[in-house]
């Protein structure tokens, strides 16, 4: 336990994978439900949302609406890709550290 608290022992790759899926699936879903809940619960949020949505969508042409949808989809995919690459980097770092520590042990303790 002391090795874990002093960072001599790192968390496992399995924990990183769990946090990856929490961030990639649970966070966007939870954010969506939070927005829906806020709009339903608070009347001032609902009125601001409805007014903004009505004004915004009336100001856009159908072509602009299509481009906006395309932009949001691409932005979401980019964020998901970035999140994946971040965790791949962290997992690779953990694997390199494990390999270095293992090679250091084999140098200190010959077979």
pTM of structure: 0.72
Q: Total structural domains in the chain?
A: 1
Q: From first to last of the 111 residues of the chain, give the pLDDT tens digit.
A: 787 788 777 778 889 999 999 999 999 999 999 999 999 999 999 999 999 999 999 999 999 999 999 999 999 999 999 999 999 999 999 888 888 888 776 666 665
Q: How far apart are the first and last CA of the chain?
A: 28
Element (H, E) at 52: helix 43-59
Cβ-contact 24, 83 below 8 angstroms: yes
What is the distance of C-alpha 85 from the center of its chain?
10
What integer pLDDT is reported at residue 75 of this predicted model? 95
Task: Specify the pLDDT at position 111.
Answer: 58
Domain that holds residue 10: 2-108
């Amino acid at each position: 336990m002391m090795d874990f608290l002093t960072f001599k022992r790192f968390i496992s790759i399995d924990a990183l994978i769990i946090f990856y899926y929490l961030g990639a699936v649970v966070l966007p879903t939870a954010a969506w439900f939070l927005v829906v809940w806020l709009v339903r619960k608070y009347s001032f949020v609902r009125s601001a949302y409805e007014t903004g949505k009505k004004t915004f969508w009336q100001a856009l042409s159908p072509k602009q609406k299509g481009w906006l949808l395309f932009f949001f989809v691409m932005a979401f995919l980019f964020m998901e890709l970035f999140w994946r690459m971040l965790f791949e980097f962290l997992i690779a770092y953990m694997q390199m550290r494990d390999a270095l520590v293992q090679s250091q042990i084999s140098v200190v303790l010959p077979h």
